[in-house]
């Protein structure tokens, strides 16, 4: 079934353009609230947000819709996405909402929903909600208007939880850490956690102004933080994204290690401790071939899913796995959280750094990646470039040229009007030619 409003991670788009308008947010919240508050009992929803200026607008619009549907609203303020998932469950809420477009620029925004178990909504529930929106089959009841409460303890609760995610009795005393919060949702929480655990924290990206979220900072732009690591002689750097569900690690030389490297480290460490369920890591089709080969040498399996942390989590829940993630830095550890949690994943790395007493560069480079090239090709609204015969011919030709030692993945983004063309091969010149040829064919068709 084709999705009309929901993508791979909630509803997302440019603020003040459909569907990301205040008017639609009221309708969406009323429909979702009606879905989750179908009886006369008291129902509650928690709402967190990142630091975009539009997040405050959507917070007000969603609050209006939920209260109209009879739900009591608890406003959490700026909070990481994983914190909202956890607070939804711990506060016995029927629903959780995170207002964020994650790593996207400030002019974009999104609305993500969590069910009462703290996990993101299933495809089936989202389809039902879309049907309600299309048919108008939801109606506020004048006798059931909800209340609104500003819940000021949320940040402190999450600080205390995150501290417990540092295994054992290890503290971070003696570590100098550069922490880049992307001017996003974790700008208060993450520095507080690391400082309370004893670290010397050099903060960057902690001065949000509503427009600078992810701007030359965070997990998608780690260069400045890397330079700060080098300039200050820090032991390690941690770069989060706008809603703090992603992480990139920087070693003592300021060199970045992506989610694949961190997953390789955690998977082998947990396997040695007997903690890795079914000796399997779950990741997406985007993860590097080098990760798969590295796991195989350690007797571990890699189970791949479509792109999107929601699909990783669905596979983890279905198969009883407890570790998964994405190359982009989503690290999902269901022993701790219901979605990717950049801060908790970072604490896993810092624990091993203190325990093993080796430089961050030793831990952060688990395997040699197979050369990988990714090109994003923007296409016009209404265009379907992947259905073009010329594009299919280019893909078939590229697959044949790469052979068994390479890999191609061409897909439509679930959050932006982009076709992502990714290839892997040990022959870098061949890889570049193949990816460029396919990207050009997509551009011509789009």
Instruction: Check the CA dihedral 127-55-29-333 and report its sign.
Output: positive
CA diameter of the chain: 68
Cβ distance 110 to 101 under 8 Å? yes
DSSP 370: P
Sheet holding 372-378, edge to edge: 372-378, 418-424, 407-412
Closest-CA residue to 219 (of 145, 325, 354): 325
Take residue 42 and report the two structure tokens written for it.
């008291």
Which of the following is catalytic: 55, 100, 102, 219?
102
Q: Catalytic annotation on 102?
A: yes
- 58 Cβ contact partners less than 8 Å away, ≥ 6 residues apart: 15, 20, 22, 25, 49, 99, 109, 111
Closest-CA residue to 99 (of 115, 79, 118): 79
The kind and range of the H/E element at 250 are strand 247-250
Strands (E), 176-229: 176-180, 200-204
Q: How are beta strands 256-257 and 247-250 bridged, if at all?
A: antiparallel
Backbone angles phi, psi at 409, to 5 degrees: -140, 115
Q: How are beta strands 176-180 and 200-204 bridged, if at all?
A: parallel
Residue positions annotated with a catalytic role = 102
């Amino acid at each position: 079934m084709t999705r009309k409003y929901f993508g791979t991670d909630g509803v997302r788009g440019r603020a003040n353009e459909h569907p990301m308008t205040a008017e639609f947010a009221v309708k969406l919240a009323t429909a979702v609230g009606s879905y989750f508050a179908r009886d006369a009992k008291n129902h509650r929803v928690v709402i967190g947000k990142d630091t975009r200026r539009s997040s405050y607008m959507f917070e007000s619009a969603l609050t209006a819709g939920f209260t109209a549907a009879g739900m009591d609203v608890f406003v959490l303020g700026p909070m990481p996405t994983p914190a909202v998932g956890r607070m939804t469950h711990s506060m016995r809420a029927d629903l959780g909402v995170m207002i964020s477009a994650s790593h996207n620029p400030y002019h974009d925004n999104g609305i993500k929903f969590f069910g009462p178990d703290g996990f993101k909504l299933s495809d089936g529930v989202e389809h039902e909600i879309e049907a309600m929106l299309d048919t108008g089959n939801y109606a506020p009841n004048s006798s059931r208007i909800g209340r609104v409460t500003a819940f000021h303890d949320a940040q402190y609760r999450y600080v205390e939880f995150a501290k417990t995610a540092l295994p054992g009795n290890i503290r971070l005393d003696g570590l100098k850490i550069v922490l880049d919060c992307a001017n996003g949702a974790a700008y208060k929480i993450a520095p507080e956690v690391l400082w309370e655990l004893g670290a010397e924290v050099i903060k960057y990206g902690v001065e949000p102004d509503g427009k600078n979220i992810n701007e030359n900072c965070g997990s998608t732009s780690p260069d400045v933080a890397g330079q700060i690591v080098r300039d200050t002689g820090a032991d390690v750097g941690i770069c989060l994204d706008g809603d703090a569900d992603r992480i990139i690690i920087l070693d003592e030389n300021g060199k970045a290690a992506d989610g694949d490297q961190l997953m390789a480290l955690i998977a082998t460490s947990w396997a040695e401790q007997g903690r890795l369920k079914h000796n399997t890591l779950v990741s997406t089709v985007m993860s590097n071939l080098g990760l798969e080969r590295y796991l195989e040498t350690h007797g571990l399996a890699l189970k791949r899913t479509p792109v999107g942390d929601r699909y990783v989590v669905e596979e983890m829940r279905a198969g009883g796995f407890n570790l998964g993630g994405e190359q982009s830095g989503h690290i999902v550890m269901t022993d701790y959280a219901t979605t990717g949690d950049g801060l908790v994943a970072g604490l896993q790395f810092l624990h091993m750094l203190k325990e093993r007493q080796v430089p961050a560069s030793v831990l952060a480079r688990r395997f040699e990646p197979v050369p990988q090239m990714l090109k994003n090709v923007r296409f016009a609204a209404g265009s379907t470039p992947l259905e073009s015969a010329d594009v299919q011919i280019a893909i078939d030709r590229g697959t044949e040229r790469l052979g068994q030692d390479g890999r191609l993945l061409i897909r439509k983004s679930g959050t932006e009007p982009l076709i992502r063309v990714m290839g892997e091969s040990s022959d870098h010149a061949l890889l570049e030619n193949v990816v460029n040829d396919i990207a050009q064919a997509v551009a011509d068709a789009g």
